[in-house]
């Protein structure tokens, strides 16, 4: 396994095609807006080297028998599923941000079981190809970006009827040695911090959309791949001399619009090509795993926000007020409910024909449905307790300016237990988590990541066994 420093150097050596704020970057490493996101991924490597977290962060590979980073694991039992969620909560606590390796881990497990099913149906050898890819990721401890979401264009139309056929990623040419693909994937979390990108279809497909039923993996610096970094709220604060106004200048997340402009994929890297009947299954399996993930990572970030809110209450001198205590209790209750659903859908997991374990689909969707709501209420209560100074505090440059510093120190002081400087640092962290760049990972991602709220409600409807529940009532009432 790589150390955190070895991971950073491995990304530095890659020749990715990255644009940020209109400029092309030689590397994501060292850029003030992107380095915090790299630091978050680095934490997944650092903790795997830490004896205190080794049991949680590492596991024995079922393919090689060697110890590997859990982010490259294929789940072998419900303990693996549970430990995944526990690991994600710890990393959320350590970074207060998105640590970006979850999508790839969830994609690897979904693609593995689906390629097995395709091979059983059609006699293909996708699973064997994918197994070799997984072993390489485990042996080299690679970070993999999972790429599912297409731009979609006019969402009332299937891919083959779009005015521009490239609005869903597709195969544009097939050769003896591989395929050529064209299109884009949007909202790509952490792709500029990843060694490989694992592409999947984004919706269930019919036979007319055969060219869109494609899954493959290529290195992120493959010719034809371009990443355009997405803007985040308050992101340019990281460009300032002092990072204190950023709230969390150590860690962060990053997303990108990723273009595949006639990218060549060799045969050994293709894991689905035209098997439309399995596109929807792959989407559902990936979505289930990723909806499980949110019960861990969002609870971990919530722990940090709750802690910062409690500190803000203390610095304001209101920690003993009964209504403040009650609001903090409600925040904890909501946060633990998120975690409970993540653990529950893991405990109720089941073995797939491929041998790896999948989560309980209904409970995973209930978990994610809660995630679309509870973090917003937690954030609202945090802002309520923190007070308006969270968004009206003067800048760090004003706090350190000899002419203005004495006024800020005098008039923004509160509890004698906290310096004015520390009080403002706490408020900036709350601002970052509920309104700033971290709010992308904590709030907006909670709403739209792993599918919008309606996507979960559709799955809850399908999995809710309403007819069986009606039978329970009929049985009690003796109604035929």
Q: Which residues are catalytic?
A: 98, 102, 189, 255, 290, 294, 297, 445
451 near 369, Cβ under 8 Å? no
For the chain, the C-alpha Rg in angstroms (whole number) is 23
Question: 392: annotated binding-site residue?
Answer: no
Q: Return the sign of the alpha-carbon dihedral for residues 386, 387, 392, 396.
A: negative
Q: β-strands 196-199, 144-147: how paired?
A: parallel
- Token pair recorded at residue 367: 């978990």
* N-to-C CA span, the chain: 61
Place of tokens 């070895």: 6
**DSSP-based three-state secondary structure for 122:** helix
Backbone angles phi, psi at 414, to 5 degrees: -140, -115
Judged by DSSP in three states, 175 sits in strand
For residues 478 and 442, give the distance between their C-alpha atoms in angstroms, rounded to a whole number: 48
CB-side exposure of 337: number of CA atoms within 13 Å? 17
Q: What are the helix (H) ranges across 348-403?
A: 361-371, 374-386, 389-392, 396-400
Compute the distance between CA of residue 188 and CA of residue 3 in angstroms, rounded to an integer.
24
What does the alpha-carbon distance between residue 136 and residue 120 come to, in Å, rounded to a whole number?
A: 24
Q: State the virtual CA torsion across 351, 357, 360, 365 in degrees, nearest 10.
A: -150
> Which H or E run includes 350?
strand 350-351
**Cα–Cα dist 106/357, whole Å:** 12
Rounded Cα gap, residues 58 and 300, in angstroms = 19
Residue 184 neighbours by CB under 8 Å, 6+ apart: 150, 151, 166, 167, 169, 257, 258, 259, 260
Q: How far apart are CA 329 and CA 479, in angstroms?
A: 44
Q: Please state, in angstroms and rounded to a whole number, the distance separating the CA atoms of residues 449 and 11.
A: 25
Binding residues for FAD: 189
Binding residues: 189
């Amino acid at each position: 396994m790589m150390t955190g420093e070895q991971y950073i150097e491995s990304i530095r050596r890659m020749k990715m095609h990255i644009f940020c704020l209109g400029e092309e970057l030689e590397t994501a490493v060292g850029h003030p807006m992107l380095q915090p996101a790299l630091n978050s991924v680095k934490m997944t490597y650092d903790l795997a080297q830490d004896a205190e977290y080794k049991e949680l962060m590492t596991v024995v590979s079922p393919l090689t028998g060697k110890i590997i980073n859990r982010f490259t694991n294929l789940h072998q039992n419900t303990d693996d599923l549970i430990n995944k969620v526990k690991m994600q909560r710890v990393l959320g606590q350590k970074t207060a941000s998105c640590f970006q390796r979850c999508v790839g881990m969830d994609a690897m497990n979904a693609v593995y079981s689906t390629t097995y099913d395709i091979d059983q149906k059609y006699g293909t050898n996708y699973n064997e190809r994918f197994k070799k890819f997984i072993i390489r990721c485990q042996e080299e401890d690679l970070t993999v970006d999972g790429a599912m979401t297409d731009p979609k264009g006019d969402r009332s139309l299937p891919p083959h009827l779009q005015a521009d056929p490239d609005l869903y990623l597709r195969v544009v040419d097939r050769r003896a040695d591989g395929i050529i693909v064209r299109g884009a994937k949007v909202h790509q979390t952490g792709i500029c911090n990843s060694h490989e990108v694992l592409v999947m279809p984004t919706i269930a497909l019919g036979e007319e959309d055969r060219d869109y039923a494609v899954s493959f993996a290529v290195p992120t610096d493959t010719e034809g791949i371009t990443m355009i970094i997405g803007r985040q709220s308050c992101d340019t604060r990281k460009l300032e001399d002092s990072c204190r106004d950023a709230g969390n200048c150590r860690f962060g997340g990053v997303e990108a619009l990723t273009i595949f402009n006639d990218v060549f994929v060799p045969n050994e890297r293709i894991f689905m090509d035209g098997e439309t009947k399995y596109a929807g299954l792959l989407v559902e399996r990936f979505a289930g795993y990723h909806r499980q993930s949110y019960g861990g990572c969002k609870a971990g970030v919530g722990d940090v926000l709750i802690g910062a809110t409690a500190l803000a209450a203390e610095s304001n001198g209101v920690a003993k007020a009964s209504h403040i205590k009650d609001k903090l209790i409600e925040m904890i209750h909501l946060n633990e409910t998120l975690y409970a659903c993540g653990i529950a859908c893991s405990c109720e997991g089941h073995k797939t024909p491929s041998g790896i374990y999948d989560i309980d689909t209904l409970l995973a969707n209930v978990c994610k449905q809660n995630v679309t709501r509870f973090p917003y209420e937690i954030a609202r209560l945090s802002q309520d307790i923190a007070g308006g100074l969270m968004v009206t505090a003067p800048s760090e440059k004003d706090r350190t300016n000899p002419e203005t510093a004495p006024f800020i120190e005098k008039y923004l002081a509160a509890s004698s237990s906290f310096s004015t400087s520390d009080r403002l640092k706490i408020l900036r962290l709350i601002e970052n988590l509920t309104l700033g760049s971290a709010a992308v990972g904590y709030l907006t991602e909670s709403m739209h990541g792993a599918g919008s709220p309606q996507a979960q409600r559709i799955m809850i409807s399908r999995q809710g066994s309403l007819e069986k529940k009606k039978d329970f009532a009929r049985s009690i009432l003796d109604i035929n």
